[in-house]
Amino acid sequence: MAIRIIRKDDDPVLRKTSKVVDKINDKVITLLDDMAETMYDAEGVGLAAPQIGILKRIVVVDIGEGLIELINPEIIHKEGSECDSEGCLSLPGVAEEVVRPAKVKVKALNRKGEEITIEGEGFLARAFCHEIDHLNGILFIDRAENK
């Protein structure tokens, strides 16, 4: 495992759309491990592959309840809305109020290639939405209430 460099601010890779992962192989597994280690080292709660310069649809999230790894995640259901402050490892020192769904259901693959469905409420739903946005070149500041 290795700690990767987190892309910051106006790095163009943060604005690109990530590609679907076609095959889960050793490179993808290593990437998942490195992403988790990088996220924990930076004291974050989520990290998307583009944040370390890899344009693949992979995210890791841990809001304090254990690591969640999502390959090719897609939000299949949204419910309600909540406004709260968000920050990002790629935009250090920046915090903005962002409206997100209060509850989401996400479909993805796990590291074994199995399809999983996971529900998140509150902070977990926010983290899922934030990280999945990264896969589409969207930063939380794009969704900020006061932009």
So which residues are the catalytic ones?
Answer: 131
Is the separation of the CB atoms in 138 and 88 below 8 Å? Answer: no
CA distance 39 to 120: 19
Beta-carbon count within 10 A of 113 CB:
12
DSSP H or E segment with residue 57: none
The dihedral built from the CA positions of residue 137, 99, 62 and 79, taken in this order, carries a sign that is: negative
Classify 23 as helix, strand or coil.
Answer: coil
